[in-house]
Amino acid sequence: MNNPILTIHDLKVAFGPQTAPVDALRGVNLSVNRGECLGLVGESGSGKSLSALAAMRLLPSAARITGGSITFEGREMATMPRKELEGLRGNEISMIFQEPMTALNPVMRVGDQIAAPLRKHLGLSKKAARARAIEQLDSVGIPDPHRRIDNFPHEMSGGMRQRVMIAMALACEPKLLIADEPTTALDVTIQAQILDLLRAKQKELDLAIIIITHDFGVVAEIADRVNVMYGGRVVEEAGVGALFDNTQHPYSIGLLNATPTIEMEQQHRLPAIGGAVPHISDMPAGCSFHPRCPERRPECDRLVPQLETVAPHQRVACWARSTADEQAA
């Protein structure tokens, strides 16, 4: 069961000048196993997208890794030379984004965009790459792929473009797919199609997926395991069942309660988390969640809680759940 393909250990990422850095990731720990779908849940500023970009070594130019390690199949990525990285990206690790329109080249036919990684990584001929691209389009459920392959991105709908992105990402049969809010910009019926497609591909290719989302519905639909992030750290890590049935971190509990669901009995008021998501330049000390936390303890504003095992395969970073009480004094 424990066969991690990607492990991120104590990853720290900062923005801005060296003299006055703004810490965006403050020690992120997560791992994803072969063939597993990991949900990375959080709100704006939690660091979920940044973690994924760091894992691809695709950080924006203003950000830099200031500590920690990223291990992909035993290889250290945090310090990997660019040449070697380029051999990995699009080949063994791929990524899809929220808005496929910005990730696809608007002046290039989709077929050529899918064929590009095939030719680069697998050294296929132009003809062979085109044939594979058609197969790929077909396999992601695009009708009439022979005709569609010569379309430009703007000639397609949002759902179809996301399928093209997936076809492109999976062209070289990678071992890990990072999906950053892949369905957020899509309508629910299209979202359902894309989630089904991702699930099918996961089984078919024994693909590991990290799906980044703010939506517990997406998590419930597709994830095997979940990491909840807040303020640049992972605050809870659990199997998807445990996360919903045995929620531990007060933030996770708050989020789940605050999300209206369609099965929910009519309630008068939704339970809400007070306050606002802090800006990364203005992160509270200690546990980042403490100003909004209903279970706050005296030590929470001073000491950063670490992930501790509270149940099999479930870890949580919270002083209210910690067994190491003596530390707090």
Q: Which stretch binds other proteins (CB under 8 A): 82-90, 119-127, 165-173, 183-191?
A: 183-191
Query: In the complex with other proteins, which residue's Cβ is closer, 232 or 254?
Result: 254
- Does 192 bind other proteins (CB under 8 A)? Our answer is yes
| Two tokens, residue 271 | 């339970």
Check: CB of residue 49 under 8 Å from CB of residue 99: no
- Does 311 bind other proteins (CB under 8 A)? Our answer is no
Q: CA-to-CA distance for 43 and 95, rounded, in angstroms?
A: 20
- Three-class SS state of 252: helix
- Does 319 bind other proteins (CB under 8 A)? Our answer is no
Applying CB under 8 A, the site for other proteins has a residue count of 50
- Does 196 bind other proteins (CB under 8 A)? Our answer is yes
- Does 277 bind other proteins (CB under 8 A)? Our answer is yes
Q: Give the type of residue at 134.
A: I
CA atoms within 13 A on the CB side of 245: 6
> Among 109, 214, 296, 321, which residue interacts with other proteins (rule: CB under 8 A)?
214
**Within positions 279 to 308, which residues make up the interface with other proteins, using CB under 8 A?**
279, 281, 292
Q: Which stretch binds other proteins (CB under 8 A): 146-154, 201-209, 264-272, 315-323?
A: 264-272
| Two tokens, residue 238 | 């659990």
- Does 38 bind other proteins (CB under 8 A)? Our answer is no
User: CB 62 → other proteins: shortest distance, Å?
Assistant: 15
> Among 217, 283, 308, 328, which residue interacts with other proteins (rule: CB under 8 A)?
217
Check: CB of residue 237 under 8 Å from CB of residue 315: yes
User: CB 321 → other proteins: shortest distance, Å?
Assistant: 19
Q: Which stretch binds other proteins (CB under 8 A): 6-14, 130-138, 169-177, 208-216?
A: 208-216
Which value, in Å, is the radius of gyration of the alpha carbons in the chain?
Answer: 21
**Within positions 121 to 150, which residues make up the interface with other proteins, using CB under 8 A?**
143
Q: CA-to-CA distance for 300 and 291, rounded, in angstroms?
A: 9
Check: CB of residue 132 under 8 Å from CB of residue 118: yes
Question: Residue 253 class from Cβ within 10 Å (0-12 exposed, 13-18 middle, 19+ buried)?
Answer: middle
- Does 270 bind other proteins (CB under 8 A)? Our answer is yes
- Does 195 bind other proteins (CB under 8 A)? Our answer is yes
Query: In the complex with other proteins, which residue's Cβ is closer, 27 or 159?
Result: 159
Beta-bridge mates of residue 71: 7, 76
CA atoms within 13 A on the CB side of 30: 31
> Among 73, 92, 173, 215, which residue interacts with other proteins (rule: CB under 8 A)?
215
| Two tokens, residue 269 | 């008021």
Q: CA-to-CA distance for 30 and 4, rounded, in angstroms?
A: 10
> Can you give the binding site for other proteins, defined by CB under 8 A?
43-44, 143, 157-160, 187-193, 195-196, 199, 214-218, 220-221, 223, 240-241, 244, 254-255, 258-264, 266-267, 269-274, 276-277, 279, 281, 292
